[in-house]
Structure 1
Amino acid sequence: MKMFSDFRHFRQIERAECGLMCVGIVSELLGARLDASALRRKHPVSVHGLTLRQVCEIASTWSMECRPVRCELEDLTQLALPAILHWKLDHFVVLTRVSSGRAWIVDPACGRTTVSLSELSRAFTGIAVEIRRSTNFRKRSQISPLNLLSLVQPDRRIPGSLMQTVILSVIMQAYVIATPFYIQTAVDDAGLKGDHDLLLTLALGFGLFAIFNAVAEAMRGIVLQQLTSILTWGMSRKLFRHMVRLPLPWFQRRKLADALTRFDSLTPIKSLIANGFVMSIVDGALSIVTLVMMVMFSPLLTAVAGVGIAATLVLKLALIPATLKLGAASLNASIAEQGNRIETLRSMQTIKLMAAEEEREIQWSNRLAEVVKANQANGLVNVGLTAGGRLIDALTYVALIYIATREVISGATTIGLMYAFLSYRSQFSARIQNLLDQFVNWRLLDMHTHRLADIVLQATDPLVENQAQCSASIKGHIELRSVAYGFSNDKFVLKDVNLTVEPGEFIAIIGASGMGKSTLLKVLCGLYLPTRGEVRLDGRPLSFWGAQAARRAFGVVMQDDELLSGSIAENVAFFDERIDMDRVWDCLRRASVADEIASLPMQANTLIGDMGASISSGQKQRLLVARALYREAKVLIFDEATSHLDPINEQRVSEAIAKSGVSRIVVAHRRETLASADRIYVLNDGRLVKVADRSAPASQLAAEV
């Protein structure tokens, strides 16, 4: 199995996880198949990736021994394989074989491939890791495949629709099965004997049968349409519901285009459940009936037809690995192209300021070329498959006509039986082809289920799942107890952070860029779960309150927060079903933006473009502050939420918020903001340190600490 596996389940989703996926690939090559999702959960990888030492440490936790070596190109044949190679300075691949001037590698980005040694020399940095089984290594399989039925939203209409589809399909196929009898009887019993009455009776009978068949086909189409709609609605809602409840780091580590295209993987699954599953049952049953009829008519002709069908099956089965590989390549290329296009559209202002339109066009053209190349390769395989199948079918048909005609001449069979057999043969061939196509589609489905598994098998945010209390009882007392947070156990962004915030207090946090201030606020809000320690709200862990209660107690403005497409009022109320306009205007006044909104032709009903594109950055920040105030939160958490404001507007906003008497935790650097804080902390090297002298500038305070 490992010889032919392309390790699709270990395809990297994030650019930085190639080293982790290489560990999974090597483990499978050594005989222990791991679950990629379990690997990701046990060894979360930061956006900075893994060092060689970290890769070896992860491998050792799965009972594998590593020996990093430095080797030249000519020494690769001496490596103990499989081995992990450092590739193009920022990537890892697995070397599985070196022979005849070529190297066989498994790339977590694209699967199995072969390269010449000259190509390898340009990518290989000279650093490799030999990996072998340790004494306690044992062969095992920890794969947790995605159950397709788990994607289906339970609906009492689905079983009934499936049963109706099966019944109507059987009725339709009964007409197809009976048609050869009509041909045989019309030719042998009516045509050759000149029986006009029998011919008329047959024509009327099968004409009515044809009408009945057309009605059944139309009814089946309606049922399938309803079934597809039910599946589309239920599966899409279930998947989206699960996805929006995933932890925030899941979204931050993935490209937007990749997350978007994962929903497209639902389409072939819905098609297979709604249509492919039913037709496979019908085709399988009726192909047996058709085969029996063929044998009854002529065992010799059946054997000849069987040889042709077997040859077609061999051809298709031989091309399945290529089809799967090219399908994955086409999908990956399409994701890269779409991601580049989305990134370009979102960054158009920057691109124009840098006069980089041509450069972006070239980059996108290169991505598009990869898509065209992958689709062309896939198309060529399909052309070869179609041409080969038609050639085999034509040669088989020629042989059948020749043998059948000889039997007619010898009197062993009749012309009607010959026509009937050829009709049954066409039906049998078509059904076998359909079954094989469904088998190929099922194999291709594996690629889509692995993409969906990254969503479905990912654990949801535990804070979202727990809805224990209501927000009315929350007073706003916050406590951080020995909180640590990091993407890996040996590199923490926050280290042993302790902080207590009483209701109504104003806490300011300063620190150099990259010290983890935004991370600290996200831990406070429950967007990040602490690696160690806990965050307590009113003396209880955040998990006690649940996301709805805890996060509604917070009014938060982060640096990268966005406005959504809609009116200003809708954004301030965050699309509440019942918007309190008096409260909206009160929040706009407290955010010092009411006069500017009132001067607009449509005032608070003015529409804002995607990401707030139609307003200034200062107005955007004040609208975000107004949105936080609208929640009537117990605690306001601002991450440089007024950095784009002029001193006058910033002072107005600060004074208005101070009058509300709610707790405030603010990341800021301006002296005016720090001067009004009850306490100031500096975050440095992952630790919070309280500042005694509050009169110095923020930069001096941070430098002294």
Structure 2
Amino acid sequence: MFINRTPFVEQMQQTECGICCISMVAGKYNAHKTLRELRNMAGIGRDGVTLYTMRNTAVRLGFKAKVFRAELHQLSQLRLPVIAHWNENHYVVIDKINKNSIKIIDPAVGRQTISYEEFQKSYNFIVLEMTPTEQVVPQKRVSVWGKFLKYLMEIPKKVTIVIIIAIIYQLGTLGMPILVQYLIDNIITANKFQLLSIFMVSVIFLTIVQGFVQFFRGKFIIVLNNTLDKRMMQHFFSHILKLPYQFFQLRSFGDLLFRASSLRIIREMLSSKLVLGLLDFSAITFITIYMLNKSLVLTSLVVGLSLLNVLMLILTKRRLKEVNQDEILKTSQLQSYQTEFLYGIFGIKTAGIEKETYHRWASFLDQLIQAYKNKEGFMNMIASLSGTLQMMSPLLVLWIGAMLVFNNQLSLGELIAFYSLSNNFFSMSGSIVQTINSFMLTGAYLERVQDVLDEPLEHTDDDKESITEFKGNIRLDNVSFRYSEHSDWVVKDISLDIVSGQKIAIVGQSGAGKSTLAKLILGLYMPSNGKVYFDGKDIRELNLSALRKQIGVVPQDVSLFNRSIKDNISLYKEDVSLEEIQSVTKMAEIYEDIVRMPMGFNTMVSELGMNISGGQRQRIALARALLNKPSVILLDEATSSLDHQNEKRIDHFLRRLKCTRVVIAHKLTTIMDSDLIIVMENGEITALGTHHDLLKKSEFYAEFYAKFQEHAYSPV
């Protein structure tokens, strides 16, 4: 079996370091697997994977795998690479053990060489060893370039125009040295002074034409760039909006935004560098044919010097890819942390940890700066060597060419033309080398973007049945849910009938599965087992987007947008009148608060709604939920920030709507009048009934009520 260098595979989400390590070790033996394939095999969920699951995944790939305890001195006796348990909740690959250091590959950080002392601080003395067997199937690493080249194939007319204009421009550039040769050999040397003015006027005219061609080339490249930008961004964000809710629970928002911004780098590669690089290659072919026709000696010199440039690229390729991947990784980590602390600024301020937050941010910044220095320093070294070679090469051509002129093997005009063309040759070959470098570097961005685009979409197909008049009847038939094939059940064997117009309450301790059950009812999660029916129709056969438009949701943590209050309620629906918005705000008891604001309904809400109170945010969210006249409304601690009087008035309005209400609350005043109260413990329904029924038959609910009474009547 062919054995190569252990590849670096970056983890795309926090819970997949284990499968990244499996991918790296498998790649060592040329059995490359995509993270998408390994996620499906290992069943990656919210809580990551265990060593047991990792061992089973390795066995399914054809490896003999075993997990065991290994002391530090025993590691050198193992067949490297091996996977090590790291810092209690992480995995890394031990790639090489030297006399004074150990080389590890961390899927979250990259390649590192650390001392034995540093290694011992994080090593948990547990390893997973993967030994290849005959069952291991060699598999090449999948290239993602083909999936992005399709964007060029979708706009053949624009690409063709750019190519044709670029060819005309290059023909003009290459033709100029040949015209100079003609000037020297056929006009100046031949003393044909009468042709000089005509010739020079013609050359000036061609130069002006060349300038116009250059202008139109740049203009059409801008058009091509804009078209690619639009198509790629539309595809990316359209795909993201169609991904299931679970995807966003496992991803960093900052990292997703970084991937989106990477599309511009990919577009630059596709629209300019790739197309022009291919044209440079074609031009070099024509130059070589011309030069061979004039002098085999000089052509061999030019090609030989250019091959030195290519050799340098081959020798530096691996290191260049490593330093680029490291910079991308550090940039993503910094952006993710910046997004994290901005979202969590309330907690940072209230805990008084501004200094600690700054120092952690500065640590990420220092790592990025170091990664940038490493990459730029290495690229600067390559550019310096390449530039020196490019400056020296034409001089060598001039030197050898001059000898050929003295020996009457070459005319002076041919030497000047050869010198100019060799400059073009070296410039274009250098450009091709840079294009190949960019091609390799862009691959890291491509993989990060493609990782998102490979995620399966939610079932929101337009060809599925749309419930246009949802009555609000919901039935759960033996529904169970877990985040992955190997994780614990979060909700188990739930059977429940919710009748249109009922008020249903869900109670239980934190972690009992209340919010998960609510998300199953909303269709945000698909059941792992069992079925969910809406008005008697299986949710898997319905258009989810159409269904959700008829369900109102008021979450505990309300998300508001940096837009006006009116836009936050209407969510940009153009067919909604101000009167309708005012009506729902009155139902949500927020109308008086809004009209007292300086700009009324046009008052701008800051990002996340930080400039208004928690109670106001909840009532705006309630108004938003009521605007669509929902058949079902879910209230997840939706009135937790409200006073008793406001809460009572809102409940009175909701009763008049006669829609199905599903309430998750810890305040008994909110749920005591429910038609059905569901008690959940450890993901199961342990009791259900009315308030009075549960006081008699549910120990948990009776204790819950007793604590409520104790708190309600305790002296202030």
- Provide the TM-score with structure 1 as the length reference: 0.94
- Deviations along 1:407-460, one digit per CA (max 9) or x if unpaired, are 223333232222111111111112222222222222222212211111211110
- Answer yes or no: is the 8 Å Cα contact 2:584–2:626 preserved in 1: yes
Which residue pairs with 1:206 in the alignment? 203
Shift in CA distance, 396/666, structure 1 to aligned 2, threshold 3 Å: same
Question: In 2, distance between residues paired with 1:617 and 1:704?
Answer: 26
Which residue pairs with 1:6 in the alignment? 7
Shift in CA distance, 5/80, structure 1 to aligned 2, threshold 3 Å: closer
- Answer yes or no: is the 8 Å Cα contact 1:151–1:238 preserved in 2: no
Which residue pairs with 1:448 in the alignment? 445
- Answer yes or no: is the 8 Å Cα contact 2:254–2:340 preserved in 1: no
Q: Return the letter of the residue paired with 1:581.
A: L
Which residue pairs with 2:482 in the alignment? 486
| CA positional deviation for 1:6 | 2.8
Query: What SS class does the counterpart of residue 379 from structure 2 fall into?
Result: helix
Of residues 461, 464, 467, the one that matches 1:465 is: 461
- Deviations along 1:85-127, one digit per CA (max 9) or x if unpaired, are 1122221112233344443433222444443434322332211
Of residues 499, 502, 509, the one that matches 2:506 is: 509
Q: Return the letter of the residue paired with 1:84.
A: I
Structure 1 regions of 5+ residues with no counterpart?
Answer: none
Aligned ranges for residues 261-280 of structure 1 at < 5 Å?
261-280=258-277
Shift in CA distance, 144/246, structure 1 to aligned 2, threshold 3 Å: farther
| CA positional deviation for 1:143 | 4.3
Query: What SS class does the counterpart of residue 287 from structure 1 fall into?
Result: helix
| CA positional deviation for 1:310 | 1.3
- Answer yes or no: is the 8 Å Cα contact 2:92–2:106 preserved in 1: yes
- Answer yes or no: is the 8 Å Cα contact 1:151–1:235 preserved in 2: no
- Answer yes or no: is the 8 Å Cα contact 1:467–1:549 preserved in 2: no
Q: Return the letter of the residue paired with 1:488.
A: S
Shift in CA distance, 141/419, structure 1 to aligned 2, threshold 3 Å: closer
- Deviations along 1:214-269, one digit per CA (max 9) or x if unpaired, are 11111111211112111111221122111110111111111111100111222232
Question: In 2, distance between residues paired with 1:449 and 1:682?
Answer: 48
Aligned ranges for residues 289-368 of structure 1 at < 5 Å?
289-368=286-365
- Deviations along 1:375-406, one digit per CA (max 9) or x if unpaired, are 11111112111211122234433432322222
Query: What SS class does the counterpart of residue 44 from structure 2 fall into?
Result: coil
Deviates more, 1:87-96 or 1:200-209: 87-96
Of residues 401, 408, 411, the one that matches 2:408 is: 411
The alignment of Structure 1 onto Structure 2 pairs a total of residues equal to 700
Which residue pairs with 1:74 in the alignment? 73
Question: In 1, distance between residues paired with 2:476 and 2:549?
Answer: 19
Deviates more, 1:169-178 or 1:388-397: 388-397
Mapped pair 1:685 → 2:685: no
Which residue pairs with 2:254 in the alignment? 257
Deviates more, 1:427-436 or 1:145-154: 145-154
| CA positional deviation for 1:135 | 6.6
Query: What SS class does the counterpart of residue 165 from structure 2 fall into?
Result: helix
Q: Return the letter of the residue paired with 2:151.
A: V
Mapped pair 1:25 → 2:24: yes
- Answer yes or no: is the 8 Å Cα contact 1:638–1:666 preserved in 2: yes
| CA positional deviation for 1:703 | 5.4
Shift in CA distance, 466/39, structure 1 to aligned 2, threshold 3 Å: farther
| CA positional deviation for 1:479 | 0.6
Deviates more, 1:352-361 or 1:440-449: 352-361
Question: In 2, distance between residues paired with 1:702 and 1:419?
Answer: 100
Mapped pair 1:612 → 2:609: yes
- Answer yes or no: is the 8 Å Cα contact 1:509–1:517 preserved in 2: yes
- Answer yes or no: is the 8 Å Cα contact 2:514–2:664 preserved in 1: yes
Shift in CA distance, 154/580, structure 1 to aligned 2, threshold 3 Å: farther
| CA positional deviation for 1:288 | 1.0
Which residue pairs with 1:58 in the alignment? 57
Question: In 1, distance between residues paired with 2:289 and 2:483?
Answer: 63
| CA positional deviation for 1:136 | 4.4
Q: Return the letter of the residue paired with 1:535.
A: V
Question: In 2, distance between residues paired with 1:142 and 1:374?
Answer: 26
- Answer yes or no: is the 8 Å Cα contact 2:663–2:671 preserved in 1: no
Q: Return the letter of the residue paired with 2:28.
A: L
Identity %: 25
Mapped pair 1:628 → 2:625: yes
Deviates more, 1:368-377 or 1:387-396: 387-396
Query: What SS class does the counterpart of residue 68 from structure 1 fall into?
Result: strand
Shift in CA distance, 269/148, structure 1 to aligned 2, threshold 3 Å: farther
Shift in CA distance, 675/623, structure 1 to aligned 2, threshold 3 Å: same
Deviates more, 1:526-535 or 1:32-41: 32-41
- Answer yes or no: is the 8 Å Cα contact 1:467–1:545 preserved in 2: no
Mapped pair 1:132 → 2:128: no
- Answer yes or no: is the 8 Å Cα contact 1:301–1:400 preserved in 2: yes
Deviates more, 1:102-111 or 1:294-303: 102-111
Mapped pair 1:93 → 2:92: yes
Which residue pairs with 2:701 in the alignment? 701
Of residues 433, 437, 452, the one that matches 1:436 is: 433
Question: In 2, distance between residues paired with 1:699 and 1:32?
Answer: 56
| CA positional deviation for 1:293 | 1.6
- Deviations along 1:476-525, one digit per CA (max 9) or x if unpaired, are 11011111111233411111111110011111110111222111111111
- Answer yes or no: is the 8 Å Cα contact 1:554–1:634 preserved in 2: yes
Question: In 1, distance between residues paired with 2:28 and 2:495?
Answer: 46
Question: In 2, distance between residues paired with 1:371 and 1:324?
Answer: 16
Shift in CA distance, 149/351, structure 1 to aligned 2, threshold 3 Å: closer
Query: What SS class does the counterpart of residue 507 from structure 1 fall into?
Result: strand
What is the CA RMSD across the aligned residues, in angstroms? 2.4
Shift in CA distance, 414/147, structure 1 to aligned 2, threshold 3 Å: closer
Question: In 2, distance between residues paired with 1:702 and 1:554?
Answer: 32
Which residue pairs with 2:544 in the alignment? 547
Shift in CA distance, 621/677, structure 1 to aligned 2, threshold 3 Å: same
Structure 2 regions of 5+ residues with no counterpart?
Answer: 706-716
Question: In 2, distance between residues paired with 1:70 and 1:528?
Answer: 39
Which residue pairs with 1:40 in the alignment? 39
Deviates more, 1:175-184 or 1:506-515: 175-184
- Answer yes or no: is the 8 Å Cα contact 1:293–1:424 preserved in 2: no
- Answer yes or no: is the 8 Å Cα contact 2:637–2:665 preserved in 1: yes
Question: In 2, distance between residues paired with 1:153 and 1:651?
Answer: 60
Shift in CA distance, 293/139, structure 1 to aligned 2, threshold 3 Å: closer
| CA positional deviation for 1:152 | 2.5
- Answer yes or no: is the 8 Å Cα contact 1:682–1:702 preserved in 2: no
Question: In 1, distance between residues paired with 2:380 and 2:141?
Answer: 39
- Deviations along 1:631-684, one digit per CA (max 9) or x if unpaired, are 111111111111111111111111110111111111112121221111111111
- Deviations along 1:343-376, one digit per CA (max 9) or x if unpaired, are 2333333333333322222222111111111111
Query: What SS class does the counterpart of residue 93 from structure 2 fall into?
Result: strand
Shift in CA distance, 106/350, structure 1 to aligned 2, threshold 3 Å: closer
Q: Return the letter of the residue paired with 1:21.
A: C
Question: In 2, distance between residues paired with 1:129 and 1:664?
Answer: 50
| CA positional deviation for 1:693 | 6.9
Query: What SS class does the counterpart of residue 23 from structure 1 fall into?
Result: helix
Q: Return the letter of the residue paired with 2:7.
A: D
Question: In 2, distance between residues paired with 1:279 and 1:606?
Answer: 50
- Answer yes or no: is the 8 Å Cα contact 1:565–1:609 preserved in 2: yes
Question: In 2, distance between residues paired with 1:470 and 1:312?
Answer: 61
| CA positional deviation for 1:146 | 6.0
Shift in CA distance, 551/369, structure 1 to aligned 2, threshold 3 Å: same
Mapped pair 1:235 → 2:232: yes
Which residue pairs with 1:576 in the alignment? 573
Shift in CA distance, 135/443, structure 1 to aligned 2, threshold 3 Å: closer
- Answer yes or no: is the 8 Å Cα contact 2:6–2:95 preserved in 1: no
